[in-house]
Amino acid sequence: MVSLRAFVGSGPHLKAVKSFRNIATGSTYQCESDTVPTWEETRRLWEENYKEQ
């Protein structure tokens, strides 16, 4: 199994990240947690903390 870290450093992911500003608009929010939040909790956190791109 390929680790997430290996994927993040891979060519396809890097290409997508570099292209993001040219192909998408929106907002993002990143956080760390010991548990996976529900979709409702995720939405609430995003609405309270997102940053426009």
Pick from 17, 45, 18, 41: which is nearest to 29 by CA?
A: 45
Task: Provide the number of structural domains found in the chain.
Answer: 1
Q: Is the pLDDT of residue 1 over 70?
A: no
44 occurs within a structural domain: yes
- Return the pLDDT at 51: 75
1 occurs within a structural domain: no
32 occurs within a structural domain: yes
Q: Where are the alpha helices (DSSP H) in 1-53?
A: 4-8, 11-23, 39-49
Question: What's at 23, amino acid-wise?
Answer: I
Is the pTM higher than 0.85? The answer reads no
Confidence of residue 2 (pLDDT cuts 50, 70, 90): low
Q: Is the pLDDT of residue 3 over 90?
A: no
17 occurs within a structural domain: no
49 occurs within a structural domain: yes
- Return the pLDDT at 9: 77
Q: Could you report the per-residue pLDDT of 4-52, keeping only the tens digit for each?
A: 778 777 888 888 888 877 776 778 788 888 999 999 999 999 889 887 7
13 occurs within a structural domain: no
Could you tell me the residue range of the domain that residue 35 belongs to? 25-53
